[in-house]
Amino acid sequence: MRRFNVLFMVVFFMSAVLVENLHAKTFTVDEGTLIKVTNYDLIKADRLDDGAIVNFAVAEDVVVDDAVVIKKGTKVKGKVSFVSKEASMGMHGMIAICLISTNAVDGQTISLIGNAQKGLSTGEAVDSGMKSGCMMAICPLFMFQKGESADIAPSSIFRSRTAKEYKIKVK
């Protein structure tokens, strides 16, 4: 009798799993699919170190064939790849955060390619250097002017992409 009860329970649970999977449909998320990412809180460069983990969120649903495969608000993991604090002579701070991963509706980890950054554009660095040199020649007191912090304002939007193709099951 005990054997029968155990066998019955195993068959019952297996059939429940099979029925659930019958109703799930698989969707393909192509490599390079755009995922917009946002931050809810102010990200302050002076509070971060290289390698620190920073949390973001998916900014809008990712939809494939009318099915949501990644929900808006899903956590996105980021890791600080470069940070410099503001300095004297008007030099601005800089920050770069690699967007690493998020999760699909079926729980799969989705690897991402993309960055959240502030103050790292080449033109901005050249402009700062030229500004510093010119201002030093004109007014030596410029050496004591502090640059701006590389803070990332809340609700900033960053673009990332999926690192490879994924098959997502949607119920």
Q: What is the pLDDT of residue 8?
A: 56
Q: What is the pLDDT of residue 139?
A: 52
Q: What is the pLDDT of residue 4?
A: 57
Q: What is the pLDDT of residue 161?
A: 97
- Cβ(169)–Cβ(64) under 8 Å? no
List the beta bridge partners of residue 162.
Answer: 112
- Cβ(99)–Cβ(160) under 8 Å? yes
Q: What is the pLDDT of residue 33?
A: 97
Q: What is the pLDDT of residue 155?
A: 95
Q: What is the pLDDT of residue 94?
A: 87
Element (H, E) at 153: none
Q: What is the pLDDT of residue 108?
A: 98
Q: What is the pLDDT of residue 135?
A: 47
Q: What is the pLDDT of residue 69?
A: 98
Q: Is the pTM of this model over 0.75?
A: no
Distance CA(43)–CA(156), nearest Å, equals 10
Angle at 138 between CA 133 and CA 144, to 5 degrees: 70
Q: Which fold has domain 25-170?
A: Lipocalin (2.40.128)
Distance CA(100)–CA(124), nearest Å, equals 26
pLDDT per 10-residue tile (average), the chain, 171 residues: 58 52 84 96 90 96 97 97 71 86 98 88 42 50 60 94 96 88
Query: In this structure, are strands 94-103 and 75-84 parallel, antiparallel, or unpaired?
Result: antiparallel
Question: Residue 41: which residues within 8 A CB-CB, separation 6 or more?
Answer: 154
